Structure 1
Amino acid sequence: MATILVVDDELGIRGLLSEILSDEGHTVELAENAAQARAARERLRPDLVLLDIWMPDVDGITLLKEWGGAGLLNMPVVMMSGHGTIDTAVEATKHGAMAFLEKPITLQKLLRSVEQALARNAPRPAPAAPVVTGWSRTEVVSYGSPAPALVAPVAHPTISGPAPEQVFQLDRPLREARDAFEKSYFEFHLAKENGSMTRVAEKTGLERTHLYRKLKQLGVDIGRNKRQA
């Protein structure tokens, strides 16, 4: 995960971006003006800066030029504005910005821009051998067959990752069987989305508040899933 500096004079924007990016596992530092942004950039050496254009003291384009002229643009910068034009976006790109986000910023555009900026700035590691575990795909239980226990390890290795299929005991009360299925369903999506509650909410079609309540009700350990991710 990355260290991201958010520079915006609007308290609501800073709070919203901080909540979303923190939920994605990033470390977020906030600045409300150019002076705070300079100090935070020097102190933290962030992996990415989200920089608002219109600020009361020094605007974002001027700060971007300042960093570029001093050789301090050693991190990607994504510009943000609610009153931007094509000329503004072109000027920001010319002076070193990697992307331009127009306010109001949608969740999908924010996460996509952050992901692309960090991926472009990340060092390319040497190819590594695939990690294997002892879990394998399992067959679905047919009606009337003996009900086995939940998924068990097998001898031959397969590629690691969330298991797309699981076997459940069918000879049990409906509510228990449904809870067991829902728990495995949400654990699968948490593992697939690296513990991101935002992405899991999108995938499952649930509001985040409802999702939190559901996971708590089913006994899903959110902290453990995030640590494993």
Structure 2
Amino acid sequence: MNKYFLLLLLGILCSCDEHHSENQSNDEDLSNPEFQSETKEEKLVSLYKDSVIPLFKDIPDVNPPQEIHINAEDLNIDAGAAFDYLEVSQGLIDLENEAIQLFALAHEVAHMATLPQAKIFNLPAAIPEGNSTNDYQKAEYLADLIAIHLIHLKKTEKFKLIQGDFEKLQEIFGGEVFSHPSGQKRISSMKLYIEDCSSKTEALAFKERFLAIWNMD
């Protein structure tokens, strides 16, 4: 009788040990980053660091911000860059369109690349103001151009997705205000660059469009 009781006890202990090992394995899986899905915020940060920052590595004197601030109260699709941080809206984080997120982030960093790029083209250190197009509006056109050009060169598949979403992007841009051209004008400007790329090199199409915007009336 004692022998059978001992065997039963050993069986229970073995079963408990296996159950403990299985639970421990499940706990390890849950703690393994490979088994955890990224949040929307983490995905946007990864997109910025892995895809946006490398776009600007070949432009001298451009140091994209490393720190990202989230404006959780802003549900519009928006972003803004300073020299030490990038601010993104909750609306941009929640947007279920990675290609447009990529463009929006690249556009903000492109503002920081505009004057270094102008220097490469031997242009003055300030965007000139035209009679009909002020320097703020020119800055938006130029940032759009730099962003779409770099994505065109280095992220071809994303470029095609953005091009297919121009109507959505125009809607996001909205109407004309003092500091921003209308979405329709901004999309038209990018389309001129894209059309020129069909008959010229991307570098020449970019340079000519950059100069055309710079010298807008």
> What interval of TM-score do these two structures reach, taking the shorter chain for normalisation?
under 0.3
Q: Which entry has the higher C-alpha Rg, 1 or 2?
A: 2
The structure in which a higher percent of residues are strand is 1
The structure in which a higher percent of residues are helix is 2
TM-score w.r.t. length of structure 2 = 0.25
Instruction: Tell me which of the two structures has the higher relative contact order, counting C-alpha pairs closer than 8 angstroms and 6 or more residues apart.
Output: 2
TM-score w.r.t. length of structure 1 = 0.24
